[in-house]
């Protein structure tokens, strides 16, 4: 596993978590030892507060990346099956493919 993550990967992981709880707006404060995150509902009322230290952020981002990789693999398998069904339905075959 990597030793560092980009802001993009950290914000992606945090954003996924906030989407799961259904917040409508957020405030993220960088602290010396991590992040302090607030999520608000549609009326602007505080819905959730979370503090992530460096170790917790690392775990969150690592889990997020693992989920992204799993989804890519599942999508690849689904697409492969779709291609084979399409070719079979149209009585075609993939040149150079082995089954």
Could you tell me the residue range of the domain that residue 54 belongs to?
A: 7-66
Residue 66's pLDDT band, with cuts at 50, 70 and 90, is low
| Residue 84 belongs to some domain of the structure | no
- For residue 81, being part of any structural domain is answered with no
Among 30-34, 38-42, 75-79, name the one with the lowest average pLDDT: 75-79
**pLDDT band at residue 50 using 50, 70 and 90 as cut-offs:** very high
Long-range contacts, 29-35 (Cβ 8 Å, 24+): 35/10
Distance between CA atoms of residues 59 and 22, nearest Å: 21
Higher pLDDT, 72 or 17: 17
The radius of gyration computed from the CA coordinates of the chain, to the nearest angstrom, equals: 20
What is the rounded average pLDDT of the residues 46-74?
A: 82
Residue 50 falls inside a structural domain: yes
Helix (H, G, I), strand (E, B) or coil at 42: coil
Domains in the chain: how many in total?
Answer: 1
């Amino acid at each position: 596993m990597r030793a560092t993550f980009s802001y993009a990967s950290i914000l992606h992981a945090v954003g996924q978590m906030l989407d799961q709880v259904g917040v409508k707006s957020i405030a993220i404060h960088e602290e010396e030892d991590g992040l302090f995150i607030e999520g608000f509902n549609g009326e602007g009322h505080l819905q959730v507060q979370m503090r992530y230290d460096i170790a917790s952020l690392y775990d969150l981002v690592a889990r997020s990346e693992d989920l992204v990789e799993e989804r890519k693999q599942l999508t690849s398998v689904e697409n492969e099956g779709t291609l084979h069904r399409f070719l079979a339905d149209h009585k075609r075959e993939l040149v150079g493919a082995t089954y």
